[in-house]
Chains A and B, each alone.
Chain A
Amino acid sequence: MFQRTAVNERNTRVQMLVRLLFGMMTALLVLPVLIILGLLIHRGGPALSMEFLFDEPSNGMTAGGIMPALVGTVWLVAVALIASVPIGVAAALYLSEYAKDNWLTRAINLAVINLAGVPSIVHALFGVGAFVLFFKFGTSILAASLTLAVMTLPVVIVATRESLQAVPQAFREACWNMGATRWQTIRKVVLPNSISGILTGVILEVSRTAGETAPIMFTGAAFFLPFLPESVYDQTMALSLHLYVVTTQVPNVPEHLPYGVALVLILMVLALNAVSIGFRTWLRGRKKW
């Protein structure tokens, strides 16, 4: 009765093959990440030092450190987050918890998805027109961060909306049936159970914001500016633009320097992600169903 038949044998073989194939695809996926990281650590590692992190660039950006760019990127990411997270989360809450499912809502959802597909250089030009010129912020951290915020809003909105919709409808109905208002339901039931998903969206946004170059190069990031910004109305250097500059625009850059910049950029994103992922894991440990 438990003898293996030819059909059994074939099924098992096919199953092994399929598993191997899928496993190889996964490995293929991880490979570029490992190669990039390995190369950066190998070539850029020697460049890392306290001076590299905490000095200004010198000798026409062929020596010295990246302090202003590092600090500038932190400014840009922070201001972009402050602008986009409240707007994005509020919009997602409205779309998911309040808006009726009609043509207008569907049109807005479509617009959000399309916004995510707009090329970053188009966002850059929009930023110049809207924030630099129309609102007269000039080329500044504020203009650059707002441009980044507009560009990353869809990420926040989509991630938030999806984690809101992952909360079972039965929970909402149970709460409404007790006479709770929509807001009470959101605060007591929906948000506590979707916060980890919302944070995922924020993590994605951070990674993307820190690495973007096009949207900031016309709106607030400077080619070379050996001072730290003092307010959001200053221009600033940024790691991503600095990497572009030392790679393509400056002659006689020692080879390790661009790799060092890239390594710092990636390490910064990884560190930010690690903090958020840790926080998310902690929240998820308290997940309740």
Chain B
Amino acid sequence: MVSSATDVRPTRSEAPEYGVRPLVRVRDLTIRYDDEPALANVTFDIHEHEIFGIIGPAGSGKTSFLRALNRMDEFTPAMEFDGRIEFDGHDVRHMRNLYALRRRIGVVFPLPVGLPMTVYDNVALSPRLSGVRKKAELDEIVERCLTRAALWDEVKDRLHALGSLLSGGQQQRLTIARALSQEPDLLLLDEFSIAVDPVTTMRIEDVLKELRDELTIVLVTNLVQQARRLADRTAFFLMGECVEVAETEALFTGEVREQRTRDYVEGRFG
């Protein structure tokens, strides 16, 4: 099925065959930095328990979308957005409790951010911030999250070494473990593999496929093939425009509405 980027029909009738409700609904979203538009009039849905890929060349507004979804505009000077982003039925623009919103959304950035504390504390930070105090409980969370991020075996003997001393690929998995420790409903990955070697990338990709059962993932990537490997549906962003949203396989087998999409996917530009 090919859904339209500009389709504003209710999602239930738009995608009945998924049998799931949309976790994120984006309607007429426009993002600006100092009146310089980064994304214009974008409309699409992200369904529960899917991996939603966003592909497109640099500067097409992919990261800006993630920042708006997590309400990072609050600490990004000059960033503002119009339109509507609903997360789990709530308009994030008018949400009072942004802390609760951000706890439900885990974020992983292109460059790993190992916080300057031990591996253990990195993963235990979020539970601690939300009030978990018991050591046994924290131990369990740390082990579970590190295991799910495919890092446990490598760091179980040095949980109390500094997280920032791990290798780049390990730090990126630590970042993912930290995001998982929030027990998020939605995981945003922004070009997570940019500073990670191919083998580790593959391991993380395997992890993501497993995580699909538990949460929803938005995968922003420059690597078209990565989107093909992972994403159920994929959106193609180009210069601040959402050109189209489609089943990933459809995109790659040429069932696209726009010539631009075909050109990008086949590597003819971008």
A interface residues with partner B (beta carbon < 8 Å): 100-101, 170-181, 184, 188-189, 192-193, 287-289
> Contact: A178 with B182, CB < 8 Å?
yes
A189 touches B99 (CB 8 A): no
Known A173-B75, A177-B70, A179-B129; contact A288-B116, beta-carbon cutoff 8 A: yes
Contacts of B99 in A (CB 8 A): 179-181
In the assembled complex, how far is the CB of residue A177 from the closest CB belonging to chain B, in whole angstroms? 5
Mask: chain B, 93-118; 1 = CB below 8 Å from A; 0 = not: 00000011111011101010111110
- Residues on the B chain within 8 Å of A192, using CB: 116-117
**B102 contacts A178, CB within 8 Å?**
yes
Task: Return the chain B residue nearest A288 by Cβ.
Answer: B116
Q: When the two chains form their complex, are residues A179 and B102 in contact, meaning their CB atoms are under 8 A apart?
A: yes
Which residues from B are CB-within-8-Å of A170?
109, 111, 113
B129 lies within 8 A of A288 (CB): no
Nearest 3 pairs of A and B residues by beta carbon: A288-B116, A179-B103, A179-B102
Question: Please, how many angstroms separate the alpha-carbon atoms of A176 and B75 in the complex?
Answer: 9
Q: Which residues of A contact B215 (CB under 8 A)?
A: none
Q: Number of B interface residues, CB 8 Å?
A: 29
Give the CA-CA distance A177 to B162 in the complex, in Å: 21
CB within 8 Å for A288 and B109 given contacts A177-B102, A178-B125, A179-B130: no
From the candidates B102, B116, B130, name the one contacting A171 in the complex (CB within 8 A).
Answer: B116
What is the CA–CA distance of A273 and B70 in the complex, to the nearest angstrom? 45
Is the pair A173, B115 in contact by a Cβ cutoff of 8 Å? no
A176 to B115, CA, bound (A): 12
Distance in angstroms from B47 CB to nearest chain A CB is: 23
Known contacts A170-B113, A177-B105, A288-B162, then 10 further A-B pairs from the complex at CB < 8 Å, ordered by chain A residue: A171-B113, A173-B72, A174-B178, A176-B72, A176-B102, A178-B182, A179-B129, A181-B99, A188-B117, A288-B117
**Is the Cβ of A289 less than 8 Å from the Cβ of B116?**
yes
**B-side contacts of A287, CB under 8 Å:** 116
Interface presence of B16 (CB below 8 A): no
In the complex, whether B126 has a CB less than 8 A from a CB of chain A is yes
| Residue from the set B107, B113, B115 with the largest chain A CB neighbour count within 10 Å | B115
Tell me if A179 and B77 are in contact (CB < 8 A).
no
Minimum Cβ distance to chain A for residue B140 (Å): 19
Contact with A along B3-32 (1 / 0, CB 8 A): 000000000000000000000000000000
Closest chain B residue, CB of each to CB of A176: B75
Most buried by A among B70, B111, B117: B117
Contact partners of B226 in chain A: CB under 8 A = none
* B124-163 to A contact mask, C-beta < 8 Å, 1/0: 0110011000000000000000000000000000000010
Residues of chain A lying within 8 A (CB to CB) of residue B106: 177
Q: Closest Cβ of chain A: how far from B121's Cβ, in Å? A: 9
How distant is the Cα of A288 from the Cα of B175 in the complex, in angstroms? 16
User: Are A184 and B129 closer than 8 Å at their CB atoms?
Assistant: yes
In this assembly, does B200 line the interface, its C-beta being within 8 Å of a C-beta of chain A?
no
A172–B126 Cα distance when bound, in Å, is 13
**Residues in chain A near residue B100, CB distance under 8 A:** 179
Centre residue among A101, A177, A188 by max chain B CB count within 10 A: A177
Q: Separation in Å of the B125 CB from the closest CB of chain A?
A: 6
CA A193 to CA B164, docked complex, whole Å: 13
User: Which chain B positions have C-beta within 8 A of A193?
Assistant: 116
Asked whether B117 lies within 8 Å of A177 as measured between CB atoms, the reply is no
Q: Which residues of B contact A171 (CB under 8 A)?
A: 113, 115-116
Q: Bound state CA distance, A176 and B73, in angstroms?
A: 12
Nearest to A170 among chain B residues (CB) is: B113
Instruction: Compute how far the CA of A184 lies from the CA of B107 in the bound complex, rounded to whole angstroms.
Output: 18
Closest to A100 in B: B77
A179 cross-chain contacts in B, Cβ below 8 A: 99-103, 126, 129-130, 182
Q: For chain B residues 41-100, which have a beta carbon within 8 Å of chain A?
A: 70, 72, 75, 77, 99-100
